[in-house]
Amino acid sequence: MKAAGGSGESVVIVGSVALDTVATPFGRAESVLGGSATYAALAASFFSPVRLVAVVGEDFPEAHLEALRSRGVDLSGVEIAAGATFRWEGYYEFDLNQAHTVSTELNVFERFRPKLPPAYRDTPYVFLANIDPELQLSVCSQVHAPRLTICDTMNYWIANKRPALLEMLRRAEIVLMNDAEARQLCETPNLVMAARQVLAMGPRAVIIKKGEHGALLFTPEGHFSAPSYPLERVRDPTGAGDTFAGALIGYLAYTNDPSEDSLRQAIVYGSVMASYNVEDFGPARLLRLTHEEIIARYREFGEIARFAAV
Ligand code: AMP
């Protein structure tokens, strides 16, 4: 693992950059740096150089751009458009796996049409965060022969943009979704059956995130289960899934190794980074995280999953 903007292969990340207002039973944060691409970019930056594609409004604080730059994130693909930045407000009750949306103000994000700068077009690793699958497909057509494309999605697109989403699943090597989304997409309560169905749609791996209960990997060859980390100090779960995804692709780009061993390690790094992210509001914890802390918790995950062979 390397320092900010590490020396692995480059990763391009496309998604939302937002101003979030979040309330949890442990406090409230007003207009903090948020968005799916923000969390993914910050997490990936611990492993590999990151190129961000997003849009913000003229009101977006320079300090937030500086926070991303401080992690070595390349912002030449971030457009500053006339208008206000995308804003999301939500709250969590004691079930921290369930976000309740209070308001979504799309603002400049409504007209977001991702446009990759020429220098980004040969990027070998691509993460398409949760945006309209038609926009995800438009990004795919702008990148020349990427080595690995990972896409995320959400219930809204499963319900409203199914044909484009299915086309996206054919184009991606790895698909990420949470347990409820997998059940919704495949219309089955059984996650194993859902994963098999998604694999039949095209990707070589499906990763199902189960919130605080870990993550499952399904490939045609097998199955891996990453443990959950017994955190006592969860303060704000916002961005956990995106942090997981960013670390996952960042680590895969760092090793540049398509093997299942590398994928399993990437999933554990994803879980490590997500477990840190939820310790504080917004991305505050990611912004003060160290490589030593990442390694220490990765080792703890190994201990949690260890048991004696018979
Ligand atoms: P997560 O907790 O991983 O699901 O991601 C939360 C982040 O997603 C927040 O920082 C929000 O700004 C962002 N977000 C919320 N709604 C949307 C949306 N409709 N499209 C894109 N990003 C969103």
pLDDT in tens, 8-56: 899 999 999 999 999 999 999 999 999 999 999 999 999 999 999 999 9
Protein residue with least CA distance to atom 3, ligand 1: 239
Q: Answer yes or no: is the C-beta of 283 below 6 A from any ligand 1 atom.
A: no
Examine the pLDDT at 1 and tell me if it is beyond 90.
Answer: no
pLDDT score, position 95: 87
Domain locations in the chain? 11-305
The DSSP bridge partners found for residue 218 are 206, 223
Whose CA is closest to atom 9 on ligand 1?
Answer: 35
pLDDT at position 5 over 80? no
CA–centroid distance, 163 to ligand 1, in Å, is 22
Q: What average pLDDT does this structure show over 155-165?
A: 96
Q: Does domain 11-305 have CATH number 3.40.1190.20?
A: yes
CB burial of 135-164 (b: ≥16 within 10 Å; e: otherwise) equals bbbbbbebbeebebbbbbbbeebbeebeeb
**Cβ(24) – ligand 1 distance below 6 Å:** no
- Sign of the CA dihedral running 180, 183, 187, 190: negative
Mutation to probe ligand 1, out of 19, 88, 91, 236 (largest number of atoms < 8 A from CB): 88
pLDDT averaged over every residue in the chain? 95
Q: How far is the CA of 71 from the centre of ligand 1 (A)?
A: 21
Whether the CB of 98 sits within 6 Å of ligand 1: no
Q: How far apart are CA 28 and CA 9, in angstroms?
A: 37
Determine if the pTM surpasses 0.75. yes
* pLDDT value of position 52: 98
Taking 50 as the threshold, does the pLDDT of residue 3 lie above it?
no
Q: How far is the CA of 247 from the centre of ligand 1 (A)?
A: 17
Select from 138, 178, 146 the least CA-distant residue to 252.
Answer: 146
3-state secondary structure of 8: coil
The stretch 221-245 carries a mean pLDDT of 93
Give the mean model confidence (pLDDT) for residues 256-277: 96
pLDDT of 18: 98
Q: For residues 43 and 287, give the distance between their C-alpha atoms in angstroms, rounded to a whole number.
A: 9
Q: According to the model, what pLDDT value does residue 287 have?
A: 98
